Amino acid sequence: MRINVVTIFPSFFDVLEVSLLGKARGRGLLDVRVHDLRDHAHDRHRTVDDTPYGGGAGMVMTPEPWGLALDAIAADADSRPVFVFPSPAGERFTQSTARELADSPHLVFGCGRYEGIDERVFSYAATLGEVRLISLGDYVLNGGEVAAMAMIEAIGRLVPGVVGNPESLVEESHEDGLLEYPSYTKPASWRGYDVPDVLLSGHHGKVAEWRHEQQLERTKQRRPDLLD
Residues that bind ligand JCQ (CB under 6 A): 85-88, 112, 116-117, 135-137, 139-141, 143-144, 147
The residue (of 22 and 67) whose beta carbon lies closer to ligand JCQ is 67
* Burial label, 190 (beta-carbon count in 10 A; 0-12, 13-18, 19+): exposed
The residue (of 150 and 195) whose beta carbon lies closer to ligand JCQ is 150
The residue (of 82 and 117) whose beta carbon lies closer to ligand JCQ is 117
Phi, psi (deg, nearest 5) at residue 64: -55, -55
The residue (of 24 and 111) whose beta carbon lies closer to ligand JCQ is 111
Phi, psi (deg, nearest 5) at residue 177: 80, 5
CB 86 within 8 A of CB 109: yes
Q: What is the DSSP letter of 32?
A: E
For the CB of residue 129, give the shortest distance to ligand JCQ in the complex, in Å: 17
The residue (of 79 and 94) whose beta carbon lies closer to ligand JCQ is 94
For the CB of residue 186, give the shortest distance to ligand JCQ in the complex, in Å: 39
For the CB of residue 203, give the shortest distance to ligand JCQ in the complex, in Å: 44
For the CB of residue 218, give the shortest distance to ligand JCQ in the complex, in Å: 25
User: Measured at the alpha carbon of residue 90, what is the angle toward residues 149 and 141, in degrees to the nearest 5?
Assistant: 50
- Dist CA 161 CA 156 (whole Å): 10
- Dist CA 198 CA 172 (whole Å): 20
CB 113 within 8 A of CB 144: yes
For the CB of residue 13, give the shortest distance to ligand JCQ in the complex, in Å: 15
